[in-house]
Structure 1
Amino acid sequence: MEDTWDIINSLAARLDSRSTRRGEERWLVQIVKLQEEVGEVAEAAIGALGENPRKGFSHSWDDVRAEACDVITTGMVLLARMGGDPRRLFEEHLRRLAARDLRPERG
């Protein structure tokens, strides 16, 4: 199987090759797409809980997981479309989060 970031970079390149937008406008479109995906995971969660009186239990928790994967993938594609080395940027960010949030607690 291909490396995750190789797939993400290929998806980003494909989107860029089909886009009529340039530069920051491409990024903005991807940000809007990310927001759309976040809405879909929220819709799936509401459906898994049966909280929409009109639709009832319209989704499963597996649907929620799949939509969450779409959110993550779309965010990664956004990072790739913005240029630079998305793998390095993400890993550095993750290390900063770990250093900040995974420190041993003082008792």
Structure 2
Amino acid sequence: MTTVPTDADLLVALSMWIDDGNAHRGTEARTWGRLAKVAEECGEVIQAYIGATGQNPRKGVTNDTSLVVKELLDVALTALAAVEHLDGHRGNAMDALASHIDWVAARAGLVDGCPGDDGCPGAECERCSSGRFVLMCADCRSYAMEDAR
């Protein structure tokens, strides 16, 4: 039976593949390259949006927003791979993203949870360690308990 790799496994493999291809560079240079690549991908988002909106009169509309979405996903993937690189390829980037989404949602007031601001003891905090938040419906503003993890 073949084991299907998880998204987290594939992200680690992609990140390691990038590092292996840059093994001849020093540690700091590899990290700078990873961070610069995120910025370079952001430029491709802008280029795709200019093409989707026809903002270059010489070229006109060259693509639709599906290319913008693809480029945004490239930014996200590149950033998550850089997180894996910084974390030693331990497979934690996807969980870190989920935790960050929880934190931002709590900070924005979309869920009733501790956003982990100053004074929050983190793992000792009952709301942070439970992994449960009260989710607010953006349309009707009603609440429902769901497991956020």
Question: What TM-score bracket applies, with the shorter chain setting the length?
Answer: 0.7 to 0.9
Correspondences of 1:42-81 after superposition (within 5 Å): 42-81=46-85
d(CA) in 1 for partners of 2:68 and 2:95? 29
Q: Does 1:13 align with 2:20?
A: no
Poorly superposed stretches of 4+, deviation over 3 Å: none
CA-atom RMSD in angstroms: 2.0
More displaced, 1-10 or 55-64?
1-10
Q: Which protein is bigger by CA-based radius of gyration?
A: 2
Identity of paired residues, percent? 32
Q: How many residues align?
A: 106
Q: Does 1:41 align with 2:45?
A: yes
Q: Does 1:2 align with 2:9?
A: no
Give 5+ residue unaligned stretches, structure 2. Answer: 112-135, 137-149
| Greater percentage in helix | 1
d(CA) in 2 for partners of 1:51 and 1:87? 35
- What TM-score results when the alignment is normalised by the length of structure 2? 0.64
The structure whose RCO (Cα within 8 Å, separation 6+) is larger is: 1
- What TM-score results when the alignment is normalised by the length of structure 1? 0.86
Q: Which residue of 2 aligns with 1:26?
A: 30
